[in-house]
A and B are shown apart, each in its own frame.
Chain A
Amino acid sequence: MSMKRLVPPALALLLAVTALASLFLGQYQVTPGQMLAFIGGKLFGAGWGGGLDATLLPLIDNVLIDIRLPRILAACLIGASLAVSGTSFQALFINPLVSPGLLGVLAGASFGAALGMILSDSWLVVQCSTLFFGGAAVMAAVLITRIFVGNSAIMLVLGGIISGAFFTAALSIIKYTADPSNQLPAITYWLMGSLSAVNLQTILILAPIMLAAIFFLTIHGGRLNVLSMGEEEAAALGLNVARTRLIIIFLATMASAMTVVIGGVIGWVGLIIPHICRMLIGPDNRLLLPTSALLGALYLLVVDDICRLVFTFEIPLGIVTSLIGIPFFLLVLKNAKRGW
């Protein structure tokens, strides 16, 4: 019991160390001395960075601040958001095989990104369109369920399937009509998920919102425990089921849609990280959610480091998370005989 409580702080420490180490990783070698001098210079004024050659400063600034830092932040934010959303959805729908895309958010966001790419050259338009359609897809799922089939969790899944199928079809139409020499490859690569195009400005705008969504999902752990008993029991235990469910869906949708805005579609993180965390510390969502956030961040950071370093060319992150995710998932299934 007490050992379990040590897992989140240990993961936080590991994440901090890995993030710092990731700043050193890459084609261009930065020495610890240079790093220290550079950070000191940034924090305390130029005079402090005594050991640093003035001509190197713009280069190091470019490598660390413009290239590596945004990727590290993006990997952590995306990993944490997907893992927390996945954990929340698995408890909410009482189904350990559910991932954040269940209600159509990833399908909608993908469609939005593709639509933005063929309509405009502006990156901002693409990002806004991604976010808008990610939210719209989930709203459609919720409304379809409300209007046609009632209001239970299982019916919501059906609404999500319908909404997801619609936006997947709409995405195919966009791809079909896109210019095959420029737009189609751009859309296709985007949907594979990659962090090679992130910029610090986008991250700094989205980070507070994503962190807020992660935080509010995390404090709903106790309520998710109650919800995972089933709707009727949750209501009989004193919970306002419909309201709590909508809050959780809203937060998870926001967090997931923003991961697509930053890095395209990155699969499997939201499915396997919750499982690995449950194997580590059990199903209590109060502890599981923060653990998922930290492990999700750590996992995607390490995978992105691998993407950057192992291959001479950059391979899309989404492909690697899937390739790593599948054997992990088989391992999880093997251990899941006692319950999740």
Chain B
Amino acid sequence: MAKEELLRLDNINFSYQKRTILSNISFSLTQGELILLLGPNGGGKTTLLKILLGLLQPRQGSVFFAGEPLTAYSRAQLARRIAYVPQAHREIFAYTVEEVALLGRTPYQSLFAVASAEDKRIAQAALEKLDIAHLGQRCYTEISGGERQLTLIARALVQGAELFIMDEPVSGLDYGNQMRLLEDIGKLAATGISCIMTSHFPDHALLTDCRAVLLHNGGIIADGAPTDVITRNNLRLLYHIEAEVLATPDGGRCFCLPTWAMREEERRLS
């Protein structure tokens, strides 16, 4: 039953100048697992994602991907296995959705980067998988935020990566699109793709079949099933709010109900 370990972080420490950003971060991720990283602003989430992508080197500790240290991979090798899905941005140049998705073929292409029929077929398949094939020829600058986010996920699919690193993929979206995207991400995980995503909303973890990892002041304070780790105490510690974690009447789902947000003064007193 034990699934294969895909990613392992061994005692990661990172500091910027003299400020410690991450200390003693260790966890591992198996194939097809979805980890939702929760934590306040400045808690080190983004730094951790950059380390996982190999964009930043930890001061101490190592990251292992498929058994090998991350530093053993070249950029192109890494790009074929780990994809970065940034928060949907407003692109300056009006590339078409298909062109953006095709950029996922970069680690497979030579300098000339001529898109082959095969590349186009792969891009088309990715767009279809996310139900946005009809947007293929539209400008990326003209579609909605949710559609842009799906385009970036399609690009990660085109990369053929086994691990998606997603930086707040649902933050910029409206309520409906947030739920739809969470569902889509859940489906990806079901197809064997592992995901690590950050979010600002504990409810996102409770709504998804995922593992929640809580990051506070650069350290992991809890790691486990969302219903186990999203507790009154942890929410107070992370976000300085009082919140009830309630179950729906049928007991199927839990959700957070914030009751009191502490102000700066109250925080200092408590």
Measuring CB to CB, which residues of chain A are less than 8 angstroms from any residue of chain B? Answer: 1, 91, 94-96, 219-223, 225-226, 228-230, 232-233, 235-240, 278, 282-284, 286, 338-340
Contacts and interface: CB of A to CB of B under 8 A. Distances in A.
Contact of B106 (A237, A278, A284, A286): A237
Interface in B111-131: 111-114
Contact of A225 (B53, B83, B113, B141): B113
A223 B75 contact: no
B95 A338 contact: no
Interface centre among A94, A96, A221, A225 (most CB of B within 10 A): A225
B50 interface: yes
Interface in B85-119: 86, 89, 91-96, 99, 103-104, 106-107, 109, 111-114
A222 B96 contact: no
Contacts of A232: 50, 53, 55, 84, 86
Given A237-B159, A339-B141, A225 B95 contact: yes
A205 to B, nearest CB: 28
A281 B75 CA distance: 31
B78 A283 contact: no
By secondary structure, the A interface counts as: loop
B214 interface: no
B93 A283 contact: yes
A282 B141 contact: no
Interface of B: 50, 53-55, 75-80, 82-84, 86, 89, 91-96, 99, 103-104, 106-107, 109, 111-114, 137, 139, 141-142, 159, 165
B203 to A, nearest CB: 28
Given A237-B106, A239-B106, A228 B113 contact: no
Contact of A96 (B79, B93, B95): B93
Nearest to A225: B103
A219 to B, nearest CB: 6
A338 B94 contact: yes
Interface centre among A222, A225, A226 (most CB of B within 10 A): A222
Contacts of A91: 93
5 contacts: A222-B106, A235-B55, A238-B76, A278-B94, A338-B141
Given A220-B111, A222-B112, A236 B82 contact: yes
B74 to A, nearest CB: 8
B141 A284 contact: no
Nearest to A236: B84
Contacts of A239: 75, 106
A339 B106 contact: no
A240 B75 contact: yes
Contacts of B106: 222, 226, 237-239
B122 to A, nearest CB: 14
Given A238-B79, A239-B75, A338-B94, A222 B111 contact: yes
A277 B159 CA distance: 29
A236 B53 contact: yes
A50 B94 CA distance: 57
A340 B92 CA distance: 6
Given A236-B55, A238-B106, A284-B99, A221 B113 contact: yes
